[in-house]
Amino acid sequence: MDYENVCTTVFTPVEYGCVGLSEEDAMERYGVGEINVYHKEFTPLEWGLSPHRQGRQCYTKVIVEKSSDKVVGIHFLGPEAGEVMQGYGVAMKKGMTFTELIETVGIHPTSSEEIVTLSVTKASGADASAGGC
């Protein structure tokens, strides 16, 4: 059994799910300058109607090994994180690249589509807040 790409979810009020390596483990394995971390803050569409949930309370990031473009980790903090990760887990087991990920058409309006629209890296220092539809 290969346990590296097993999806994990923590069922808290805002769920957290991940598959693959953490950012720290990826830096240790590949080297600090050898990974890209794409990330985004977002508000799920269904939360936009509630004044109590309109802050950017969700976050996703994808960790990519630069030389191969291989996705080595996906992390998601938001509604239905377990369901979101289950779909990406298959792709991770098959060796998905970041190019393949962003060429995937997201299902709108789902929170999972935030993953396939990532373009901002941590290293760029650019604002990782998502815009509206």
Give the helix/strand (H/E) hosting 92. Answer: helix 81-93
Which of 39, 52, 75, 108 does the annotation list as catalytic?
108
Kindly report the backbone phi and psi dihedral angles of residue 127, in degrees, each rounded to the nearest multiple of 5, phi listed first: -65, 130
| Known catalytic membership, residue 108 | yes
Q: Report cis status (omega within 30 of 0) of the bond before 109.
A: yes
d(Cα 129, Cα 133) in Å, to the nearest integer? 13
| CA dihedral of residues 128, 91, 4, 68 (deg, nearest 10) | -70
In the chain, what are the helix, strand and coil shares in percent, each to the nearest 5? Answer: 30, 25, 40
- What positions carry a catalytic annotation? 108
